[in-house]
Structure formats: structure tokens, C-alpha cells
């Protein structure tokens, strides 16, 4: 006989199951639920866009709608997953995870990983978890989620469900990327210039096009639209010079109210064979801040004028910086915004003039993007694009190796440099070395075979910095941006880059288990370092000359060896003194390496002076001349054809977090973090810095020569090495009010193995 159902029984069973879990010592917690899920470095692989605009249609539904949707596609047969480990308690480390991947929403909601159920996997790895389930089908949407266990005996709930779509063709390795995003910007100000002429200011420049809603009374009226980056005498500068943009368009009006998109014709200069092109769903764009609407006699409101702005998806809340120096704060905002504004193609390019990818732009852009957003796909995609499409400067070929290492340090993922390993070996240019180990492009060693190995069809030339003297219309009294560098057959700057590439190639060989390559590249680096200092270091002056055969010493010939670890410790003081004597005698590109060299040598005071300078050759000057995006050069006089939208001028976006605030990965993927603030005269500063494992927050109070305090929050599943400025060996160092063990290194109190969560450090008398 069937027993009557007890309505309380299911509830009692649930309670008993919960008690059983708790009694097993694994408390299930909401607060520890993983967040920030990534697939192949994309944190939002399930975002759907309609003609570039985000929509709320779920990915699994969008694939069946007849709309012009765009979304990311995962083309890798075995994608890799990551997440942020959250924790209420300090010193939290992940001990295990369970990943579920399902073919349907129903399965994932019911905890059925029909494609892959990793089971409880004992591991502290929370990034770069390779899919290991059933073969994924092309062109299909999959669902996934993850739960974790930690060293406090806590089990998390499953994360929210994430989705991703596979591409139509799958391969062993493929970098994922987002579609470009569009956003409607409204003016911050409208100013009538006459009854028929209105000046429109969008507040900041951006790449986009204009959309207006206007009234036509006769059906035969024509309105003139002006767009531009620069302002002069209260209007758009009609002749701004260089490649600063100004354009005008005629817009015939139909009778009645209508909305018009001004279609921009392509520019032959930036849509050529080497240029990266805009996709059809965004249309052509122009960088502009200002708009003028002329010959329109009716009242205009802000709602009638819209800039359709295009950029790579960007979360402005990922990072924040403020300090006691108001100029430095403005420089940070300029630099951070520049990374978003110049992302309009999804590949790092040299600005609007050519829209061509160059390694030097990409290297600085890469580090800056890491500094302001939890975004790694655009940097990887740009780097890999350039491996196969290199440009002509010798040093920039070598920079591909530097970018590969940066990618690994910030993501912890070695798949990119593993895939391009042989290409990167060729890009060390080790085949150009003579018996001593020095390289040159002018000794007959640049053979067709060498060029083919680096995917270049052209002539390699040393660049040092750009522009050179007399290039691009500079007058003879303008010395270019190379500080008078004397080009020789064997060039100091080229060989400094070569040394750095050898060192990093040895590291990458070690990661991949290529022991013979690691030994070979390490030996070559040591050999080069010895001969470099024997033949290029002026023993009498204690500084480097520009090359073999000249006694001329330049800023560049000294800052690159110092930045790349070639300079003997006993010479550092003389070299930094020489650098300070030269000032900012380099381009905005060169400033990246100058500031790296200064901060790495303990010259934080001079570094801060340059970052916050208001001189003509400064980042503040970019603001002063009227731009809201970083310039290609310090001022128009230093590069007459410059543009106003060049991300290689945004180096403070990485220099402030990496060097001034001192946040850098000690182990790949931020598994271990170095926190080494160098405040100099700053009395206080605060930074929120994104990492692939979650955000680092820090704030310091500084009384130079007296005391220093640091508030720090580290994400879960990380540890840190904290360096605190010491003013005297007798000072006291505490953590959370208690004395803490430390070692003294280079004027810092170094505390090892600082765990996740909140800490307060103080250095007092």
C-alpha cells in the first residue's frame, strides 16, 4: 500500500544534507563564490552586440535571431578558463576546483557537466585551466561554471553561469577577441555662435561619427557639419596642422524631422594595403571632440546631436588613481582615457594618420592596457598580428620578444609564445651576431633567409628613436628626438635590445622545457653583456657611448642599457646623473624606457619630476595644447605631421602603476605580486589596479624622511612581496600594528609571503 506523502520530509532531507556538509568541515559560502570568469582571456565572451551596440539578448538565443549581431567566438579546440577566487578571510588560497561545461542551459542549471565535469580537482590554479572534456562542436553555444575550495576548509557555491560560442572552424591554437563596441555620446555643451551656427563640445575626443536629428522646412535646405579635434578662437580650428583632424560635410535636409548619420568617406592615407580597416558594422570613423552645425536656423538641444563612438570593450571602473599631485592626476586621466580612445580598431595602431600596427606602439600600449583594465586579448592579438607583419626598425623586431614575455607575465598563459616559439627565436636576431656576440644590420648578415625567418620583406634599419634629425620637415636647428645619437655599424641601443631579447628568450625556453635553447640563449646573453661593457662603456666617464667608433654619449645610449640590466652596479650613479643632465631629450616613445631605467635605479624623485612636469616636453603639455588623448610627440614643433591620438604617448598609464606605485607580477599571472611604492615627495596616493586574479588596492601616506604607511588589499589566491621605503635602519616596521620580520634591500624593508586580504603596514621612527 502506498504511504501518504509527508510534506515536511523534503525539507528535513535538505536540512540533513546541509548539516552533513557542515559536519564534514566544508562550509558552503556565498561570499566565496568565484567571479570574473574568463574564457581564452575574455571576461565577457557571452556579450552580444547589434551593429556594435550592446544588447540584452542572451548569447544562446542571439545565434538563432535574424539580426546583425556580433559576438566573440572561441576558435580553439581546447579553450582555457579562469576565475577570481573570492574570500572573506585573509591569507586565502584555493586548494581545489570543479569546472562544469554543458551543452544546454538546463544541464548547467542542474549541475550536469555533460561536456566536461572536472570533478573536485586538487589544484591551486585559478587561471589557464585547459578544457579536458568531449570535443567541442563548431558554431555552438556552451555553458560553464565553477566552484572552489580553499585552505580554510571552505567550499564555495557555484559561480554564475557563463556562456561562450565556438567558431565555425576550430584549431589547436587561436586568440579570441571581442567585436568593437559603439556608444552614443551626447555633448557636454552647446554654444550658439549665431542664429544659424552652433558650436558643440563632446568634452573629450573619440573615434566615431556624427548622428543628428534635424528639422527640414523646405526639403531643399543644406546644413554644413564641421568636425575637428582642435579649437581656436572659440571655433573648430580649420587648419590645425600635422595630422590633427578637421573635416567638413554637406548634409541636405529632407522635409520634416529626420535623423541623419553622416557617412564618412575613407581616407586613402589610413585605409591602404598595410592599414587595419574598420568593420562594416561600425562604418568609417574620424577622431573629433568638436562639432559645428552651420546654416541651421532652428533651436538645437543636446539630445539632437550624438557622437557614435567606437572602441574595444573597456571597463573604466577596473582602475583608479589619485594622489596629492594634481598635475599627476590629470596626466593619469589623459593616459588612461587614451587607451580606450585609441582602441577603435581592436588592434593597436599608430594613431589615425596611417592606422598601421607598429611594435613600438604596441609594446607601450600593451603595458598601458594592463595598467588600466582587466583586458588581455587586444594586447595578445596585436602582438601576434605583428609577429607576422613586422615593421622596418631593427629594435622593433626585437620588441616582439619583449611583448611575448609581457603577455606571459600578466596572463600566466604560455600558449601564445609556445605557438610562435620558432618565430620568436628568429626575432632575437641572434643570426646577425659576430664572433663577439654583438649584432649589426650593416655587416652583410641580413640575408633573404634571415628576413624570411622574421616574416619581413624590406630593409632593416636602426631607429633608436623617432623622428631623426631633419626628418619630416624638421628645421636644421631641431635635432630630432635621438639626442644627437651617432649611428655606427655596431649600435649601443640595438645591442641593448638584443641582450634583453636573449635574456627573455632563455626564460621562455625554460618555461617550455627547451633546455638546450635555454642554455644557448643564456650563454649568448652573458657573452654579449661582457663584450657590451668592454667595448661600449667609456671607462673614464663611466657612461656608454653610442656605438663602436664614436665617443659621443646620448640619453638613448645610456637609458636602454640601464633599463635592460646591462649596466654594472658601480656605474649606475654616473649613468643616472648623466640621464638627469640630458632632461627629456627623447620622444614620448623613448620616455617609457627612460622612466623604467630611472625607477629601477632608485631615482624616484627625478621620475616623479618628469611625470608631473609642466614643461613643454611633458605629458601635461599635451593637456595644455588642448588634447584629451595623448599626442604622438611632445608638441607640434617636434613632429610637424603628428596626430593627436597616439597611444605610445600614454606611457604614464603603465609607469604610474608599475613603477611609482610599484605593482608588478613576480610570478606569471600575478600568482605572486611585488608591491614596491616609490613615493618620492608625494604625500599620499591611492590606486586600484586590475590583475587576471582580481584587483589590487593600495593607498599610502608619506612623510618623507619621517614615516610611511601603506594600506593594501590583495585578491584571493595570491601572495605578495611588499617593499616599504626606509629612511633609516633604526626605523620600526609593523603590520596590522604588530612588529613584522623584514630584510633590508636597496633602501626598502622587504616583507615576504604577504597573503591575500587586508593589511596595514607602517614605517615609523
> For the chain, what is the radius of gyration of the CA atoms?
28
Q: Give tens-digit pLDDT for 530-568.
A: 999 999 999 999 999 999 999 999 999 999 999 999 999
> For residues 36 and 468, what is the distance between their CA atoms, to the nearest angstrom?
45
The residue ranges of every structural domain in the chain are 24-171, 181-311, 316-660, 669-764
Coil, helix or strand at residue 175: coil
> pLDDT value at position 27?
72
> Over 60: is that where the pLDDT of 474 sits?
no
> pLDDT value at position 730?
84
DSSP string, 268-284: GGGSSTTSPPPPTTT--
> pLDDT value at position 336?
98
Whose CA is closest to 496, among 538, 544, 443, 441?
A: 544
Give the CATH H-level superfamily of domain 669-764: Maltose phosphorylase, domain 3 (2.60.420.10)
Q: Give tens-digit pLDDT for 716-755.
A: 999 999 999 998 878 899 999 999 999 999 999 999 999 9
CATH class of 24-171: mainly beta
Is 367 within 8 Å of 654 (Cβ atoms)?
yes
Coil, helix or strand at residue 570: helix
**How many angstroms from the chain centroid is the CA of residue 235?**
34
DSSP string, 56-117: ---HHHHTTSSS-EE---EEESS-EEEEEPP-SSSS--EEEEEEEEESSHHHHHTT--SSEE
Cell numbers given for 446? 641580413
Q: Give tens-digit pLDDT for 563-622.
A: 999 999 999 999 999 999 999 999 999 999 999 999 999 999 999 999 999 999 999 999
Q: Give tens-digit pLDDT for 185-211.
A: 999 999 999 999 999 999 999 999 999
DSSP 737: T
CATH class of 316-660: mainly alpha
CB crowding 555-575: b at 16 or more within 10 Å, else e: bbbbbbbbbbebbeeebbeeb
Reported as a pLDDT band with limits 50, 70 and 90, residue 473 is low
> Over 70: is that where the pLDDT of 11 sits?
no
Whose CA is closest to 393, among 528, 274, 491?
A: 491
Which H or E element spans position 537? Answer: strand 537-538
Q: Give tens-digit pLDDT for 310-331.
A: 999 999 999 999 999 999 999 9
**How many angstroms from the chain centroid is the CA of residue 6?**
60
Fold of 181-311: Jelly Rolls (2.60.120)
> pLDDT value at position 490?
98
> Over 50: is that where the pLDDT of 16 sits?
no
> For residues 588 and 649, what is the distance between their CA atoms, to the nearest angstrom?
5
* 400 CB-near residues (< 8 Å, 6+ apart): 359, 383, 386, 387, 390, 423, 424, 427
More confident residue, 9 or 663: 663
| Region 48-54 average pLDDT | 98
Which H or E element spans position 597? Answer: helix 588-600
Cell numbers given for 182? 559603439
Whose CA is closest to 351, among 674, 630, 719?
A: 630
> For residues 579 and 556, what is the distance between their CA atoms, to the nearest angstrom?
9
> Over 70: is that where the pLDDT of 9 sits?
no
CA-to-CA separations, 404 to 128, 345, 349, in angstroms, rounded: 16, 21, 18
| Region 263-270 average pLDDT | 95
Amino acid at each position: 500500500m502506498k504511504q501518504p506523502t509527508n510534506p515536511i520530509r523534503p525539507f528535513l532531507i535538505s536540512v540533513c544534507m546541509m548539516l552533513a556538509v557542515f559536519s564534514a568541515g566544508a562550509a558552503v559560502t556565498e561570499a566565496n563564490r568565484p567571479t570574473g570568469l574568463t574564457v581564452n582571456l575574455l571576461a565577457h565572451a557571452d556579450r552580444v552586440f547589434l551593429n556594435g551596440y550592446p544588447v540584452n539578448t542572451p548569447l544562446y538565443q542571439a545565434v538563432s535571431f535574424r539580426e546583425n549581431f556580433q559576438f566573440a567566438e572561441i576558435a580553439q579546440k581546447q579553450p582555457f578558463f579562469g576565475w577570481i577566487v573570492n574570500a572573506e578571510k585573509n591569507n586565502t588560497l584555493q586548494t581545489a576546483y570543479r569546472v562544469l561545461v554543458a551543452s544546454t542551459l538546463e544541464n548547467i542549471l542542474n549541475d550536469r557537466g555533460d561536456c566536461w565535469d572536472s570533478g573536485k580537482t586538487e589544484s591551486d590554479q585559478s587561471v589557464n585551466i585547459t578544457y579536458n572534456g568531449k570535443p567541442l562542436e563548431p558554431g555552438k553555444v556552451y555553458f560553464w561554471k565553477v566552484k572552489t575550495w580553499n585552505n580554510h576548509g571552505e567550499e564555495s557555491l557555484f559561480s554564475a553561469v557563463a556562456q561562450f560560442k565556438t567558431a565555425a572552424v576550430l584549431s589547436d591554437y587561436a586568440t579570441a577577441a571581442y567585436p568593437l563596441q559603439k556608444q552614443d555620446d551626447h555633448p557636454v555643451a552647446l554654444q550658439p555662435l549665431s542664429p544659424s551656427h552652433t558650436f558643440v563640445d563632446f568634452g573629450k575626443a573619440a573615434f566615431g561619427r556624427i548622428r543628428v536629428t534635424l528639422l527640414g522646412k523646405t526639403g531643399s535646405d543644406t546644413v554644413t557639419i564641421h568636425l575637428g579635434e582642435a579649437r581656436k578662437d572659440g571655433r573648430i580650428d580649420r587648419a590645425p596642422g600635422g595630422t590633427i583632424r578637421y573635416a567638413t560635410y554637406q548634409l541636405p535636409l529632407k522635409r520634416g524631422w529626420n535623423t541623419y548619420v553622416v557617412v564618412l568617406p575613407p581616407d586613402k592615407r589610413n585605409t591602404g594595403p598595410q592599414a587595419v580597416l574598420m568593420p562594416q558594422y561600425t562604418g568609417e570613423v574620424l577622431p573629433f571632440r568638436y562639432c559645428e552645425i552651420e546654416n541651421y536656423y532652428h533651436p538645437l538641444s543636446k539630445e539632437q546631436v550624438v557622437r557614435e563612438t567606437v572602441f574595444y570593450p573597456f571597463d573604466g571602473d577596473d582602475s583608479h588613481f589619485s594622489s596629492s599631485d594634481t598635475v599627476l592626476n590629470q596626466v593619469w586621466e589623459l593616459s588612461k582615457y587614451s587607451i580606450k580612445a585609441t582602441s577603435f580598431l581592436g588592434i593597436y595602431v599608430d594613431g589615425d594618420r596611417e592606422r598601421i600596427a607598429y611594435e613600438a606602439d604596441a609594446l607601450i600600449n600593451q603595458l598601458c592596457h594592463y595598467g588600466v583594465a582587466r583586458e588581455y586579448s587586444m594586447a595578445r592579438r596585436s602582438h601576434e598580428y605583428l609577429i607576422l607583419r613586422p615593421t622596418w626598425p631593427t629594435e622593433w623586431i626585437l620588441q616582439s620578444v619583449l611583448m611575448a614575455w609581457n603577455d606571459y607575465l600578466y596572463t600566466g598563459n604560455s600558449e601564445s609564445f609556445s605557438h610562435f616559439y620558432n618565430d620568436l627565436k628568429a626575432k632575437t636576431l641572434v643570426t646577425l651576431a659576430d664572433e663577439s656576440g654583438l649584432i649589426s644590420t650593416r655587416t652583410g648578415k641580413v640575408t633573404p633567409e634571415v628576413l624570411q625567418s622574421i616574416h619581413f620583406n624590406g630593409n632593416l634599419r636602426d631607429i633608436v628613436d623617432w623622428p631623426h634629425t631633419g626628418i619630416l620637415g624638421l628645421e636644421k636647428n631641431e635635432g630630432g628626438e635621438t639626442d644627437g645619437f651617432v649611428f655606427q655599424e655596431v649600435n649601443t641601443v640595438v645591442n641593448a635590445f638584443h641582450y634583453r631579447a636573449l635574456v627573455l628568450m632563455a626564460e621562455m625556453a625554460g618555461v617550455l622545457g627547451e633546455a638546450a635553447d635555454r642554455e644557448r640563449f643564456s650563454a649568448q646573453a652573458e657573452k654579449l653583456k661582457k663584450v657590451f661593457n668592454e667595448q661600449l662603456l667609456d671607462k673614464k666617464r663611466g657612461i656608454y657611448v653610442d656605438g663602436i667608433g664614436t665617443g659621443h654619449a646620448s640619453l638613448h645610449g645610456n637609458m636602454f642599457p640601464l633599463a635592460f640590466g646591462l649596466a654594472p652596479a658601480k656605474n649606475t650613479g654616473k649613468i643616472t646623473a648623466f640621464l638627469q643632465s640630458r632632461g627629456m631629450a627623447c620622444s614620448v616613445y623613448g620616455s617609457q624606457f627612460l622612466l623604467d631605467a630611472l625607477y629601477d635605479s632608485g631615482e624616484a624623485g627625478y621620475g616623479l619630476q618628469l611625470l608631473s612636469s609642466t614643461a613643454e616636453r611633458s605629458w601635461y603639455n599635451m593637456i595644455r595644447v588642448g588634447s584629451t588623448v595623448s599626442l604622438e610627440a611632445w608638441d607640434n614643433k617636434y613632429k610637424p605631421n603628428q596626430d593627436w591620438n597616439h597611444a605610445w604617448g600614454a606611457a604614464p598609464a603603465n609607469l604610474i602603476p608599475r613603477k611609482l606605485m610599484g605593482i608588478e607580477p613576480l610570478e606569471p599571472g600575478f600568482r605572486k605580486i611585488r608591491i614596491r611604492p616609490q613615493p618620492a615627495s608625494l604625500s599620499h596616493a591611492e590606486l586600484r589596479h586590475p590583475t587576471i586574479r582580481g584587483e589590487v588596492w593600495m593607498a599610502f601616506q608619506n612623510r618623507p624622511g619621517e614615516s610611511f604607511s601603506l594600506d593594501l588589499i590583495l585578491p584571493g589566491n595570491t601572495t605578495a612581496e611588499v617593499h616599504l621605503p626606509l629612511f633609516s635602519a633604526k626605523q620600526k616596521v609593523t603590520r596590522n600594528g604588530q612588529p613584522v620580520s623584514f630584510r633590508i634591500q636597496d633602501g626598502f624593508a622587504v616583507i615576504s609571503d604577504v597573503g591575500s586580504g587586508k593589511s596595514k603596514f607602517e614605517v615609523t621612527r
